[in-house]
């Protein structure tokens, strides 16, 4: 792929970092948007040391003004974005009757409205180029639900719906929109959930047909293909990367 510009949200850690590294390795110029600006800049520096081109920007995807300012900076420093990976996400676990409106709203604001805002901020550039790729990182939890994760699972199911609508609206403009729902990938987020007892590692591995925990690179490889030229006929799809399990 020849120097298209990509934005990866939540790209300073875990799955987003692996995607950023992979896209730079593919020859893409990457802007990492992360709420932790220092980590975003460090990740970009590390990628650049390896010979690629990347920048890191402090962006809370729940803040539309910050998104718009960052996209403007990407346009002027790297060129118009043609690839968007909506990966930033947060998870909160607890019984439904104890879920506060504040927590519900924050999870929806980051995971779902953040995806909506990033898509709306970047799609005009894709329309202008008559080419675009959006990959939304949802979650395998949206297939079956997970007790105690109402806000998270609802936000991820919403991302799937948004993916399907955007695929229909923008298909004739050379823009594809797909979602990868990862299943149990070893990242800081997953390690945090394990330490809080939300998941049991051995049980999760036992439920996974390929018999191992997923790696961020497993998601990055699929994302790399979905944003490629060759994936032009794939849109509106849910591409599970979950070791063979659907929950």
Separation of alpha carbons 213 and 186, rounded Å: 6
**Contact flag: residue 115 with ligand NAP (CB under 6 A):** no
Per CB under 6 A, the list member of 6, 7, 8, 12 interacting with ligand NAP is 12
Q: Output the smallest distance, CB 163 to ligand NAP, in A.
A: 13
Per CB under 6 A, the list member of 4, 5, 6, 9 interacting with ligand NAP is 9
Separation of alpha carbons 112 and 106, rounded Å: 10
The site map against ligand NAP for 178-207 (x = CB under 6 A) is ----x-xx-xxxx-----------------
Q: Tell how far CA 244 is from the center of its chain.
A: 20
Per CB under 6 A, the list member of 8, 24, 35, 177 interacting with ligand NAP is 35
Active-site residue, selected from the candidate residues 33, 152, 170, 184 = 152
**Contact flag: residue 139 with ligand NAP (CB under 6 A):** yes
Separation of alpha carbons 96 and 6, rounded Å: 37
Separation of alpha carbons 184 and 215, rounded Å: 9
Per CB under 6 A, the list member of 54, 78, 90, 123 interacting with ligand NAP is 90
- The stretches of the chain forming alpha helices (DSSP H) are 14-25, 37-49, 64-77, 101-108, 114-129, 141-144, 150-170, 188-195, 201-206, 216-226
Q: Output the smallest distance, CB 56 to ligand NAP, in A.
A: 11
- State yes or no: is 233 an active-site residue: no
Distances, alpha carbon 8 to alpha carbons 70, 105, 148, 233, in Å? 12, 23, 28, 22
Q: Output the smallest distance, CB 229 to ligand NAP, in A.
A: 25
Residue 246 near residue 143, CB atoms below 8 Å:
yes
Mind telling me the catalytic residues?
Answer: 152
Binding site for ligand NAP (CB under 6 A): 9-10, 12-16, 33-36, 59-62, 87-91, 110, 137, 139-140, 182, 184-185, 187-190
């Amino acid at each position: 792929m020849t120097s298209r510009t990509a934005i990866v949200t939540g790209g300073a850690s875990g799955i987003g970092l692996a995607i950023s590294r992979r896209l730079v390795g593919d020859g893409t110029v990457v802007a990492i948007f992360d709420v932790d600006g220092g980590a975003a800049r460090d990740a970009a520096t590390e990628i650049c040391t390896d010979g690629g081109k990347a920048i890191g920007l402090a962006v809370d995807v729940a803040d539309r003004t910050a998104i718009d300012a960052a996209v403007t900076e990407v346009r002027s420093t790297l060129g118009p974005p043609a690839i968007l990976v909506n990966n930033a996400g947060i998870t909160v676990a607890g019984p439904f009757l104890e879920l506060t409106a504040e927590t519900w709203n924050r999870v929806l604001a980051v995971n779902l409205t953040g995806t909506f805002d990033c898509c709306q901020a970047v799609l005009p550039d894709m329309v202008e180029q008559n080419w675009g790729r959006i990959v939304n990182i949802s979650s395998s939890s949206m297939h079956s639900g997970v007790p105690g994760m109402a806000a998270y699972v609802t936000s991820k199911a919403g991302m799937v719906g948004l993916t399907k609508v955007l695929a229909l609206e923008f298909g004739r403009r050379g823009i594809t929109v797909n979602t990868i729902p990862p299943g149990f990938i070893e990242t800081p987020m997953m390690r945090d959930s394990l330490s809080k007892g939300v998941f049991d590692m051995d049980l999760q591995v036992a439920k996974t047909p390929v018999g191992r925990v997923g790696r961020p690179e497993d998601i990055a490889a699929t994302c790399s293909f979905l944003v490629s030229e060759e994936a032009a006929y794939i849109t509106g799809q849910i591409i599970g990367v979950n070791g063979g399990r659907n929950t």
